[in-house]
Structure 1
Amino acid sequence: MHKIEASTLEEARTNWCIYAQRIIENYPHDAINSNNVVNTIYTRLDKFLESKPTVENGTIYTSTYFPSVNEVNADYEQVWCKINTAHPIDAANLGFRSLGEHQSNSTMNELALSWAYNYVDDRLKTAYQTADVTIDYRESQKLTGLTWSRAELVWQKRNNQSYILETPYLRTGNLLFEALSYKHYCKLLSPKGAVDFIAQISNT
């Protein structure tokens, strides 16, 4: 069972891509954390898009970006993550290895909503339960960095009780250029976006 250890919204928000590195690539809970990950939160989109996750000298490097409301067509905050696939992490012999197949990007969206539900107050919990919302989690694979960077996180309302949440992602294996190999890029619902969604549903 995956666990998000954050106790505050800001902690969850700023560390979400570290959690994604651990959970999507299927590592033990205590293996990947702020002790062995340097997660850079970019404030400029061009710098984020230029960044590359890597593993060097025993440290895992990841990238985070929170797009502004002017950059995306979304009602709820997103977080864009650039993480490594398991291959370079396992090859670095850091004292742990991936437990197996990588997880769906949708796992992180489900966890965002689960964490947000546990975070909000009892009134919102009860109202959200009563609303009986269902979410159809999906993901769409992109083939190049350009198509991924231009893709949107799809948050589509079917009706008052049903939504579609689809994550665009890019995943590479061993390519001609090492700088482009073994990368995983994804656009996710942020914990703040999940809290705002639950609050809105609960107040309607």
Structure 2
Amino acid sequence: MEQCIVIKFLVEENVPPDEIHHRLQQQYGEECPSWTRVFEWCKCFREGRECVENEPHDRRPRTSITKPNIDRADALIRENRRNTIKELGAMLSISVGSVEDIMKYHLHYRKVNAQWVPRTLTDVNKMVRMQVATKTRMETLRKLKWNLLTHPPYSPDLAPSDFYLFGRLKSDLQGMQFVDDDAVIQNVREWIHHQPQNFFEKGTRMLPERWKKCVDCRGEYVED
């Protein structure tokens, strides 16, 4: 009913059906009604309809939506999450509409990147995925023969530019006056160009020691 209210409002604003359908797709995604359905509602509202609820009507229940078909559809999806609605309908020998209802209202699946996935993850689903991801990551690291290092707390004291480069640059340029930004840039470039090679090597070699200090201080400020 919510979508019908939106359609009615947009019709009163003289928005064309194509644009209404496009807006509904952006807002509701897979829950958006088909273009044909949107066009029918637009036509009804333009002809003066006020009610936004579906009129009651008799409909023969779908006999193909049974528990065996639902279970079979779930099994097929788990075997291959890239099965299409048409393929599932052919394998189950039921209509496309019945398959759509099973996917949407009974199994609560939705398509993501051409794959069927549950609409919501339970706590158990989340735990299983975390375990699989952790196992895969560790197996990959062992295969690559990479060593795991303890990740230090984040701190600007671990950036060579902060604990080594900028301090010396500031000290050497202290007291100088510049007429504009270009002059600052030019002087900084000249300063960097005139530093010996071992100046930058020293800053890099200091990093492990700095790292240890930061870890020992639990990420607190590191004094020089």
Q: Tell me the TM-score normalized by structure 1.
A: 0.22
Structure number with bigger Rg: 2
**Which structure is higher in helix share?**
2
Q: Which has the higher contact order (CA 8 A, sep 6+)?
A: 1
Q: Tell me the TM-score normalized by structure 2.
A: 0.20
